[in-house]
Structure 1
Amino acid sequence: MTSLQASQLAAALAGVALIGFVAGRYIAPSDHAASSSTASGGKQALYYYDPMFPNQKFDKPGKSPFMDMELVPKFADEGAGGASASGPPAVTINPAAMQNLGVRVVAAKRDNLSTGLDVTGIIAFNERNVAIVQARAAGFVQRGYARAPGDVIAAGAPLADVLVPEWGGAQREYLAVQRTGNAALTSAARQRLMLLGMPPGLIAAVARSGRVRDVTILTTPSGGVIDTLDVRPGMTLAMGQPLARVVGLGSVWLDAAVPEARIGDVRPGAAVTADLTAFPGEHFPGRVQAILPTAQTDSRTVTVRVELQNRGLRLRPGMFARVALGQSERSALLIPTEAVIRTGKRTIVMLAAGDGRYHPAEVQIGRESGGRTEILAGLSDGEKVVASGQFLLDSEASLTGIPVRAIGAPPAGGTK
């Protein structure tokens, strides 16, 4: 045996010894109490055991070969772990020792469970309010208007003056045809100008003034913030070249991170309230617009997109917000969350059967809110569970082989 294996064995024996010491002191009856009980009640001991090594059984009373202590009898009417005629096998504790062990019992009861979610989110641009400015024809940038990314501009704001040589020749042909008075030829010439990318307003201005205008002013189709700007004086432009991206600020998105375990509680259209640290005491209402189809693998959250109206342009992308989703309540059977024991394979609670007797029961849990956990199956209204000190009782129940009450099994008598 290696030194590592020896140390692991020693640690395991120490753990068993600790549980056995506590069990022998508070849970298992003493030798004197056992002898008195046998004498007074005439009980027949099935076997004797050392509380520190409960898996070892002995036919006769006496000293334990492992520790300097008396063996404890296991009586015939105790069953597995201390069953009595009035209930299932259970761990028995002297009521006087409950306070020393810190055992606290709470009844499962039906109450209102909040189904709302309090999560965090980040303000982002509303990507549905995006305008792209492109070069309608090849040309040259003659003048800029000192714009930069991040500038907030109104609709129709100028970005640059662009010279388009091709438009000059086409406009001269249009004016010449217009002077002939031939309506059909004039309409065809106008159509050619539109196919060259000339704005309708510019065509109308040329027709009214009778002068060629081969310099056009690039303007923004909508107001908002300049996200990208790729136009500078002296540049040569190609037809269709993207020059600017403008994002509207009339509304913004709030991307809230919802745990994937609770995403089933969120529905599109649900009411949302956002609180921002920048505006204490003020609430911003909105509604869920979409639940994004992918989850974040690092945080195990799903992004819920909320749209907020941005009056006064106070909400700025990148701001942090606390989000309240769907504040509602429903009736549920609740117990303290601290009473739940998660073993990895199943979830159990320790039931208080009365007269200092306790036994495990498997439960199916649901939502958790405010320090209370919803019980979907395995408990009935009024059954009492151990909310403090349950891990010691669970350890003793495992050592003595007390079976766990399965989900769907009827409540035992005296457990309410």
Structure 2
Amino acid sequence: MITANGSNDGKTAELQEPDKLGTHEEVDFPAIEATPTAAELEALLSKPAPATDAVVVVVENDDRDVIIEPPLSATKKWPIVLAVLLVAVVGIAAIIYLQTRPQPVPTPKSVDLPTQTSTTTSGMPETAFKISPEKQQLIGVQYGTVEYQTISKSLRAVGKVAFDETKITRISPKVEGWIENVYVDFVGKLVKKGQPMISIYSPDLVQTQEEYLLAIKGRRQLGESPFAEAVNFSESLVQSTRRRLEFWDISEAQIRELEKRGTPNRAMTLYAPASGFVTARNAFPKQRVTPETELYAISDLSKVWVIADIYEFEAAEIKLGQPATVVLSPYPGREFQGKITYIFPQLDNTTRTLKVRVELANKGFELKPDMYADVILSMSYGRRLVVPQEAVMDSGAEQLVYVSLNDGYFEPRKVQLGAKVDNKFIVLAGLTEGERVVTSGNFLVDSESKLKSAGGGMGMPGMDMGGSGSKAGEKPSQQTQPQSQPTERKILYWYDPMNPANKSDKPGKAPDGMDLVPKYADNK
């Protein structure tokens, strides 16, 4: 600072610069004869100042000092302005560089491997993964609920009406002879029990009749004999001859008629032993017959069977005594009620079906053997936990459903299923009431799950399935299990896979739009 103060002669002052302390030089000021007035002082200050860095003039006048500091010179301002401009240019250049600099391509050595954590987030199962709401909407995810329901179903099978084999009667003669007359002469005729079938001439039968008549005559003659042995012998002879006639199916009425008539009958009539329809006939006039000859077969159709074919995978649901409803096309709108009376012990090797027998009452003989029928078996499972069929992904080895958790998380879960009822499965294990499961889009959800598992197993960064893992910008956690570090591979250059002649020393895109791929020194 340059200071002017009073001196002995009033004409000189001491000049001191702040940058050069202790340096003095003489400066001549106009002589001041007396205390200057304000006008004189203003005229004095209006004169040009000497070319110095800064001048401060202090005028002492009694009790006050006047200090004047003129502005800096142009030579002092230019360095400051240039420095400010330089700093601004450098800052702008740094910002532009950070925004436009190329991203480095990571080599196998520089890839950070994230940790496959045991849980996706706090409280979530280790297999859970997240799908963002936008991706769920894109996939078309829909949900169903696991709940308890009263379950029953109807199993339909095809069948055929058949004869009740326990009500088929086959007629054969018990004596050898010749047929005299045939009273039932066509198949399909309905006969009643005791109705005449044929008359047969048999020498053995005629001889037995004569022996019976003689035995009766002898019993009358010896009845008054004093010898008891003779009386008993005649009685036993009558009884043995009578039993022989009975064994040959000679009825009681025919025997009484023989006793009343007193002479043997040349031809004896055979009567129907049961009621039913004639299903087979082998009896013709003048035909010689033996005990091995089957003359008729009579089938009682008051009850019939329906033999139904049950598929192999449904065989376990069939039980004896199970009610069944039979529907036939000749009788639309009508239902015949029956029950299962027998389950065959072997599957049909050709159709791979299990045969079951349903027994039906057949009043009016409306059900004809060999008619085709639909058999409906009703099964009730009671109140059971069920899951929609669409939610189950069956790979053959296991059944899998995707359970919806909170905040967009999903869990693949193995389940144990029972019978399929309509469009639901009975749940034996793996699910609880009230859980939500994916019913639509589950194949794409399964793909997301496998992609997430594969990405986590290979340590691929960014495989968070729509934000399921860490937040953006967070570094993946360190691996809990040590992994072998890949060896560094040297990149020679980058080239276009469609046109290897196009090469570059850095990654980018080729003129044809393809991404450039690295060419390694080991040619792998």
TM-score (norm 2): 0.58
3-state SS, counterpart of residue 453 of structure 2? coil
2:120 to 79, 83, 90: 83
Q: Does 1:302 align with 2:361?
A: no
Secondary structure, in 3 states, of the residue corresponding to 2:278? strand
Residue pairs, 1:17-416, within 5 angstroms: 76=115, 79=117, 83-87=120-124, 88-145=126-183, 147-180=185-218, 181=220, 182=222, 183-184=234-235, 185-195=237-247, 198-401=250-453
- State how far apart, in whole Å, the 2-side matches of 1:292 and 1:379 are: 37
Q: 1: CA distance between counterparts of 2:110 and 2:373?
A: 70
Mapped to 2, the partners of 1:215 and 1:399 lie a distance apart of 95
Deviation of 1:206 (Å) = 1.2
Aligned residues of 1:136 and 1:198 also touching (Cα < 8 A): no
Rounded to whole Å, the distance in 1 between the matches of 2:247 and 2:189 is 32
The 1:119/1:196 distance shift into structure 2, 3 A limit, reads closer
Higher Cα radius of gyration: 2
Tell me the distance in 2 between the aligned counterparts of 1:152 and 1:302: 34
Q: Which amino acid aligns with 1:90?
A: A
Which amino acid in 2 is paired with 1:83?
T
Shift of 1:378: 0.8
CA displacement at 1:346 relative to structure 2: 1.1
Secondary structure in 2 matching 1:286? strand
Displacement of 1:363 after TM fit? 0.6
Q: What displacement does 1:179 show?
A: 2.7
Identity of aligned residues (%): 28
CA distance in structure 2 between the partners assigned to 1:194 and 1:86 by the alignment? 91
Following the alignment from structure 2 to structure 1, what is the Cα–Cα distance between the partners of residues 282 and 406?
79
Distance 1:157 1:398, change over 3 A: farther
Residue 312 of structure 1 aligns to a residue in which SS? helix
Q: Contact conserved, 1:123 with 1:315, CA < 8 A, in 2?
A: yes
TM superposition shift of 1:210? 1.6
Residue in structure 2 matched with residue 408 of structure 1 by the alignment = none
- Measured at CA, do residues 74 and 109 of structure 1 come closer, stay the same or move farther in structure 2, by a change above 3 Å? farther
Judged with a 3 Å threshold, the aligned counterparts in structure 2 of structure 1 residues 186 and 159 are, in CA distance, closer, same or farther, namely closer
When residues 58 and 302 of structure 1 are mapped into structure 2, their CA distance, relative to the original with a 3 A threshold, is farther
Higher strand share: 1
Report the aligned-residue RMSD: 3.0
Q: How many angstroms apart in 2 are the aligned matches of 1:228 and 1:60?
A: 94
Gaps of 5+ in 2: 1-105, 223-233, 455-524
| 1:91–1:357 Cα contact (<8 Å) kept | yes
The answer to whether the 8 Å contact 2:416/2:429 transfers is: yes
Contact 1:116 1:326 (8 Å CA) reproduced: yes
Offset at residue 251 of structure 1 (A) = 0.8
Of 372-381 and 231-240, the range deviating more from structure 2: 231-240
**Equivalent position amino acid for 1:142 in 2:** E
CA shift in 2, pair 1:130/1:195, >3 Å = closer
State TM-score, norm by structure 1.
Answer: 0.72
Structure 1 stretches of at least 4 aligned residues deviating more than 6 Å after TM superposition: none
Quote the Cα distance in structure 1 between the aligned partners of 2:398 and 2:452.
19
What stretches of structure 1 of length at least 5 have no aligned partner? 1-47, 49-56, 62-72, 403-416
Assess if the C-alpha contact under 8 Å between 1:294 and 1:302 holds in 2.
yes
Q: C-alpha distance in 1, partners of 2:140/2:350?
A: 39
- Rounded to whole Å, the distance in 2 between the matches of 1:276 and 1:377 is 41
Could you tell me which amino acid in structure 1 is paired with residue 424 of structure 2?
A: R
Contact kept? 2:127, 2:412, Cα under 8 Å: no
Residue 59 and residue 113 in structure 1: after superposition, are their counterparts in 2 closer, same or farther (change >3 A)? farther
Secondary structure of the equivalent of 1:212?
coil
Contact 2:320 2:343 in 1 (8 A): yes
Hey, what's the Cα distance between the residues in 1 that align with 2:243 and 2:445? 89
Q: Contact 1:91–1:393 at 8 Å: present in 2 too?
A: no
Between 1:210-219 and 1:105-114, the stretch displaced more is: 210-219
Rounded to whole Å, the distance in 1 between the matches of 2:207 and 2:264 is 8
- Figure out how many residues of one structure are paired with residues of the other and give that number: 336
The alignment partner of 1:228 has SS state of: strand
Q: What is the distance in 2 between the residues matched to 1:397 and 1:324? A: 42
Q: CA deviation at 1:305?
A: 1.8
